Amino acid sequence: MGAQRGHILKLVLSQGALLAGAGICVGLILAAVTAPAIATRLYGIRAIDPIVFLAVPLILFAISFAASYIPARRAAKVMPVVPCEKDEPD
């Protein structure tokens, strides 16, 4: 109650960015650790490709930002003092 729209957007986006960042970091670490084991099965491709290790996390972060921004914008539009239609007595 009483939160500004900007604060709601910031809260939801920061939580989404924190989760996405943690997941991306864990994924990068696991990919780097398992890359040598996978390298024997790759033909003509290096196991640790810097372009892939930069592009994929950026794309994933952009998707997670959009996935957080759309619900955050919708949540910021809700007026908390307006009763819901189902809350009204018959």
> What pLDDT, in 10s, does the model give residues 14-69?
999 999 999 999 999 998 888 888 877 777 777 777 888 899 999 999 999 999 99
- The position carrying tokens 């892939």 is 52
The Cα 8–Cα 73 span in angstroms is 8
The Cα 26–Cα 57 span in angstroms is 11
Provide the pLDDT for residue 19. 94
The Cα 14–Cα 17 span in angstroms is 5
Picking from 68, 67, 66, 75, the residue whose alpha carbon sits closest to that of residue 13 is 68
